[in-house]
Amino acid sequence: MVYRKATFKDVEAIHKVVNDYALQGVMLSRARNTIYETLREYILAEQDGEVVGLGALHLVWDELAEIRSLAVVPSTVKTGIGREIVERLTQEALDLGVKTVFALTYQPGFFAKLGFHEVEKETLSPKVWKECINCPKFPHCDEIAVVKEIGTKA
């Protein structure tokens, strides 16, 4: 398994993996233009030249970042790929000086195994919600907020 940062050649693979899950209603879709604009945020898991997992670290506000678009292709679920991606994104966040990472998810149990805990969405910074206006579920978000403190406040 190779873990690496995404490049332009990966946009179609990212788009397919994310939007296949979005069609099932278990992940928010991402438009190609959004993937291009946020390409530097993605880490990919690649096996035999194929993208089998991905996730992104989105910087939100002062010392706060979101793990988003976390997905593993169905044939490789429960093989540790998702865990490794979250650990790599968390380390990247720590290296950047992030103190708190969060995710909005339909899989809180997965994140709980990695040290995240559930919180009320309303406790998150208002900066978190700036992209929600574009969500088809707005204003009736049914995702669960999970948070992990990874550093100490200065």
Spatial CB neighbours of 149, under 8 Å, sequence gap ≥ 6: 99, 100
pLDDT in tens, 18-60: 999 999 988 888 999 999 999 999 999 999 999 999 999 999 9
Angle at 107 between CA 100 and CA 62, to 5 degrees: 15
Count Cα neighbours of 46 within 13 Å in the Cβ-side half-sphere.
16
Structure confidence by residue, pLDDT tens digits, 117-142: 999 877 877 666 666 656 666 666 77
- The pair of structure tokens assigned to 42 is 């993605």
Q: How many domains does the chain have?
A: 1
Strands 42-47 and 64-72: unpaired
The answer to whether position 67 is within a domain reads yes
Q: Which domain holds residue 32?
A: 2-149
Determine the residue type at 35.
I
pTM as predicted: 0.90
CATH number of the domain bearing residue 97: 3.40.630.30
Paired strand residues for 149? 100
Taking a C-beta distance cutoff of 8 angstroms, is the pair 42, 10 a contact? yes
